[in-house]
Chains A and B, each alone.
Chain A
């Protein structure tokens, strides 16, 4: 049998609240530390304990990070999903199963490795048997595919952060799993690992923590938040790192408030922005829905404010622990009336950090609400990284007038007057005594006084449009990988970055065509995106939702001569994107349009 090296997918079916997450992260870390390109996806329920959870580990020398097309090694621990999981496996799949689950193994076309995981664990520590059993399967996998024991033990040590007892217990559990496997099985499957040269300095980090750190290096001054999956760890990341990074003379240089709801969280962010500080909140779609009224206020009264949306599956409560790009349209045109908002869309953890600080600069520069748009896949899964780049420019506090001299030097100053011709007015801060005005969500003239006059309203709305449009080419430019042919182009965004390479390869293998890609990183759209479309014959707009929301935004803004070559592939089932699924849909569209 040919060996399959570093190119397979392990699926681990457990119940949540049983400690399996630690075991899975140890597995992931060990493979990573062996230099093998690996990714982990946690498919967890909206529940604390007892419901089915799957963890998918993809090993890929090609660097593919999406979940693969199929499972090659299945670990079965959870009786609740046993039959369904087992039935879904292709013939020849390896199944490592817990014989203490009292479930039947009724497949004969698979490669079976039965292990009394609970019994082994109980022998080690009866009280903690349920949790340790998870590390037993890690040991079995390690032995089976040839993982390095020393690296494994280092990963265990890392996972338990120096807690000697836990490290010893779990290391022993892994060793017992290993030796059970060695003593009882002859390897009949092809899956194996080989260590690769390891690039030094790599680590795993979740997108949410990267945003959190970026925010702190962006000088966040006030965080107000209301807990919601999958964004809570973003706020909690900020809270965890602030004391170490932002204490001065023993006191806080920031304020954190857990709000009573998302409305209040938004209100506090706007209050902080009005007072002249960098306020932030983190939420998900349901929270953004609740914040709509405030978002309109911040847009119309021109108050800097930062909102991170870690997208989960909507509508309504939806699938709270699954991923989607379904909030994009809501962010771009959030709140009633005519609005348009700046949206930063990171696709990697490095960009999560970078956009974490950049959003504040944009929000204060343009005096408007700015959104960071992440999703559960990027935000809550661990991604390999080699570091974050320190901000390459000082904080941009925008057009804030701080002194009387400054104010006097501005000819014909008015809070909402476009003095510079870029649509961005100057502002003064409460407490400064300079140009005191009453901010309001009602119609106002260039001096901030209440007005319902038709020409005043019309001009104000035109200026706001000009202001946000003016941001287009100042926002992160798209990342383009362009083929010489310039025939087929794919426009995509966000966490799809982690699947696009595999999609690209599948397309090239299947059609022989080389495909260019363009990853949009911000709204409103950068002029380079339009130029990319101009240069290509057929363009697919690829996204993880039902309604082709990015496609809709483009169709609304782009000239007619481009529309005929723009085609949508939008698909969402809650799962992190699987490459083949999207590639096939793209090929269907290409066939339809004669490509």
Chain B
């Protein structure tokens, strides 16, 4: 009898197995798009060679916001309150700028109750990845329309939605968001490249991921059902990601025209143009592509807009290189002599 060959466990660049990036068992509905996104997050972090304990996973409230329990079990996380994850992340980010902040939210969390905080986090260019798992419904409260539901979309039960949706990508571009992308939970390859690039970007990276709700919003009339999105997505370009530590292995040089974009940590995002030349530094073109897709009842996918030069919040604050959380009393509490100076100044 021959012994079963021991399969070598595949390790990433920092010698971690993928298991170091997985989390608990999902309690979402079987087939939920969110679970696919969770697995892409696990892959992206592993492939990028991020140290699991140097990631902070942040979320609000809702189906999507439960998912941090299902990935990155070795990372600290904070499942905060509904729609308020951006502010909590902002506070954490400025005191410890050396962590990778990975926020996951939903369309209710981001487009309704939390739209104000989302807008201001974009405006400040908080250095974080912000993934919206967008299904157009409130799942956890059993299927009410969200603010991203398309006009005319129809749930299994109930009336047709007549209210204008909010396009979070268009909104983000208008706000000057430094990284705006749209993808689909079923497009694993594209989504992986985008999330990996977002993790390498310094600034606010918004990724709107259409993630069909298998329970409340997967009927054929819905513009966010699996079938509809699969048949009606227009890719702006295929996205490749080349990490800074292994520029040649990961991505084959594609045929045709492509552009390389260097990211903050030295990684490269490679965009292969599918149809026409989409200039990702052109906000007008990005908005045009979104509006055209809207008119065609299609979803446009890929990196829509990118600005690698915009200073992040942590840069604007002119913080000391040492993260504030790592400073001791000698830096945090001024001396008795300083207090004497203060009192002297008050005496005038």
Contact = CB atoms under 8 A, between A and B. Distances in A.
Interface string A52-79: 0000000000000000000000000000
A474 interface: no
Nearest to A357: B333
Given A269-B91, A279-B95, A430 B334 contact: no
Contacts of B116: 260-261, 264
6 contacts: A203-B348, A220-B332, A222-B95, A249-B320, A276-B325, A294-B84
Contact of A260 (B117, B320, B347): B117
Given A432-B76, A439-B79, 16 more contacts: A203-B346, A217-B334, A253-B324, A255-B319, A255-B324, A257-B90, A264-B86, A264-B90, A268-B88, A268-B91, A272-B95, A278-B332, A395-B333, A430-B96, A441-B80, A450-B69
A253 B97 CA distance: 12
B342 A248 contact: no
A430 B76 contact: yes
A251 B317 CA distance: 9
B329 interface: yes
A433 B96 CA distance: 14
A241 B77 contact: no
A221 B332 contact: yes
Interface string B310-345: 000100011111001101010111101011001100
B333 A276 contact: no
B87 A263 contact: yes
Interface stretch (A83-91, A383-391, A479-487): A383-391
Question: Interface centre among B96, B117, B124, B313, by most A CB within 10 Å?
Answer: B96
A248 B76 contact: no
Interface string A431-443: 1110011111110
Contacts of B81: 267, 293-294, 297, 441
Given A270-B88, A271-B91, A274-B92, A431 B342 contact: no
A273 B327 CA distance: 14
Contact of B87 (A203, A259, A437): A259
Interface in B257-288: none
A478 interface: no
Contact of B120 (A256, A260, A436): A260
A259 B75 CA distance: 27
Q: Which 10 A-B pairs have the closest CB atoms?
A: A271-B91, A267-B87, A268-B91, A433-B53, A219-B332, A430-B76, A277-B95, A255-B94, A251-B320, A271-B88
B329 A438 contact: no
B93 interface: yes
Given A158-B348, A431-B98, A264 B84 contact: yes
Contacts of B80: 267, 270, 297, 441
A274 B93 CA distance: 11
Interface string A232-255: 000000000100011011011111
Contacts of A430: 56, 75-76, 92, 96, 99
B79 A267 contact: no
Contacts of B112: none
A315 interface: no
Given A245-B342, A267-B117, A222 B91 contact: yes
Interface string B81-113: 100101111111111101100000000000000
A218 interface: yes
A213 B347 CA distance: 15
Contacts of B339: 217, 388, 390
B228 interface: no
A387 B347 CA distance: 9
A439 B321 CA distance: 27
B343 A275 contact: no
Contacts of B342: 213, 241, 245, 388
B297 interface: no
Contact of A431 (B56, B86, B320, B332): B56
B73 interface: yes
Contacts of B119: 260
Nearest to B333: A219
Contact of B91 (A224, A251, A433): A224
Contacts of B78: 271, 274, 301, 438-440
A387 B51 CA distance: 49
Interface in B232-265: none
Nearest to B117: A264
A217 B117 CA distance: 31
A391 B339 CA distance: 10
Contacts of B94: 222, 255, 257, 268, 272
A431 B77 contact: no
Interface string A407-447: 00000000000000000000011111100111111100000
Interface string B31-71: 00000000000000000000111101100000000001100
B144 interface: no
A111 interface: no
Chain B contact-residue range equals 35 or more
A263 B80 CA distance: 12
- Main secondary structure on chain A at its contact with chain B? mixed
Interface in A270-325: 270-279, 293-294, 297, 301
B187 interface: no
A337 interface: no
Contact of B76 (A203, A271, A272, A429): A429
A216 B329 CA distance: 12
B95 A251 contact: no
Question: Interface centre among B75, B88, B334, by most A CB within 10 Å?
Answer: B88
A212 to B, nearest CB: 10
A437 B76 contact: yes
B120 A429 contact: no
A428 B313 CA distance: 26
Contacts of A274: 78, 88, 91-92
A203 B320 contact: no
A252 B77 CA distance: 27
Contact of A216 (B84, B86, B90, B334): B334
B79 A221 contact: no
Question: Interface centre among A201, A203, A248, A275, by most B CB within 10 Å?
Answer: A275
B333 A391 contact: yes
A589 interface: no
Contacts of B313: 257
Nearest to B65: A440
A88 B334 CA distance: 50
Contact of A436 (B74, B89, B325, B334): B74
A221 B76 contact: no
A506 interface: no
Contacts of A266: 87
Contacts of A277: 95-96, 324-325
Contacts of B321: 251
Nearest to A253: B331
B177 to A, nearest CB: 16
A302 to B, nearest CB: 12
Contacts of B77: 436-439
Contacts of B99: 275, 430-431
Interface in A172-195: none
B98 to A, nearest CB: 7
Contacts of B96: 275-277, 430-431
A436 to B, nearest CB: 5
A205 interface: yes
A217 B329 CA distance: 10
Contacts of A275: 56, 91-92, 95-96, 99, 325
